[in-house]
Every structure is written in structure tokens, then in C-alpha cells.
Amino acid sequence: MKRQQGFTLIELVVVIIILGILAVTAAPKFMNLQGDARIAALDGLEGALKGANSIIHSKSIIAGTNTLATSTVNVGGTTTVSIAYGYITSGASVADIETNIEAALDIDFQQLTDNTTTVTSDWGVRRINDATFRLIPQSRTANPAAASACYLQYTRATNTLDPVYLSVTTGC
């Protein structure tokens, strides 16, 4: 009589199935794919904004408007972008900011008038003050204190400082 050593094929298949079920249920707890995707999208938007700002600043230097507190730059055809000291500026209202950013980046934004509104479009824009605005990804709010804080904050240039970009990804 032969002595059995090892596993049968059925036992091996059962163990593989059990491990697969455990992996499928446990993996989402260890991998935050949506958060990583939002952070990557914010990084991409920051890069696009910096690139657009670089081109706009170059155009303003050529036009001689890079030392003015307020001016505009033509970015193609009849499309203009409002600038301050040669860089994209904020605005007096969220509609002004939306128009300006959409012209600079060719991306559609949802206007947010408070910090509690959730973005339903791909991107939202929220005016903080005359110098600062936030760009928020879909399904997030502009609230910096919330656990869902996930945005790119832009502060316009001054006569002595370049624009400031601040990514907050704690709640992405």
C-alpha cells in the first residue's frame, strides 16, 4: 500500500479559491486607488496650470505687460486671459475666475460659491479672496478643514512674488 504524500488537486484548488476570496475582500483596505487617482489628477492639473502660466508669462513679457498689476494676454484668436504681473490672476467673483481659468487651460469648471458644495463636474473652482482660488476634483468640497480636503490652491503673483501653488491631498 502506497503512502499518500502532499495535497490532492481538489485541496489545492480549494486553498487557491479561499486565498482569492481573501485577497479580493482585503485588497481595497490596503490599496487606495481612487485617492491615488485624485492625487495624480491634481498633480496633472498643477502641471497644466504651471505650463499655461509659463506661456502666458512669456507672452506678457513680449507684450511688455508683465510689470502691470492688471492686464490681459491674447491666448489664441479672440480669447484673452486676465493677468497680474504677467501671470494668471484671481478675480472679483467665481465667475471671473472660471472664465479666466477655462480660457487659460481649456478645461470646464463648476462654480462653487461655498465650501460645502460637492463638485459634480470633473473640476470645481472656488474663489477664496481677491488673490486666491481653489481647484477641486470631482466628488470633493473646497473645505480645507474637512477630512475630504483635496484641492489645488493658487495664489496670484504680486509685484515681488511669483504665483504660489499649494496641493492639499490629505482627503483625496
pLDDT per position as a tens digit, 131-170: 999 999 998 888 888 777 899 999 999 999 999 999 999 8
d(CA 76, CA 104): 10
Q: How many CA atoms lie within 13 A of 7 on its CB side?
A: 8
Within a domain: 16 = no
Within a domain: 124 = yes
The pLDDT of residue 29 is 67
The pLDDT of residue 82 is 92
The pLDDT of residue 2 is 67
The answer to whether the predicted template modeling score (pTM) of the entire model surpasses 0.75 is yes
Within a domain: 118 = yes
Within a domain: 9 = no
> In the chain, how many domains are there?
1
Within a domain: 27 = no
Within a domain: 3 = no
Within a domain: 49 = yes
d(CA 14, CA 107): 51
> If 0-12 CB within 10 Å is exposed, 13-18 middle and 19+ buried, where does residue 169 land?
middle
Within a domain: 18 = no
Q: Which of 121, 52, 51, 129 is nearest to 96 (CA)?
A: 129
- Give the structural domain span for 61: 33-168
Each of the 172 residues of the chain gets a pLDDT tens digit; together they read 667 677 788 888 888 998 888 888 877 666 777 888 899 999 999 999 999 999 999 999 999 999 999 999 988 888 889 999 999 998 888 888 988 899 888 889 999 988 888 899 999 999 999 899 999 999 888 888 877 789 999 999 999 999 999 999 988 8
Backbone torsions φ then ψ of 41, nearest 5 degrees:
-65, -40
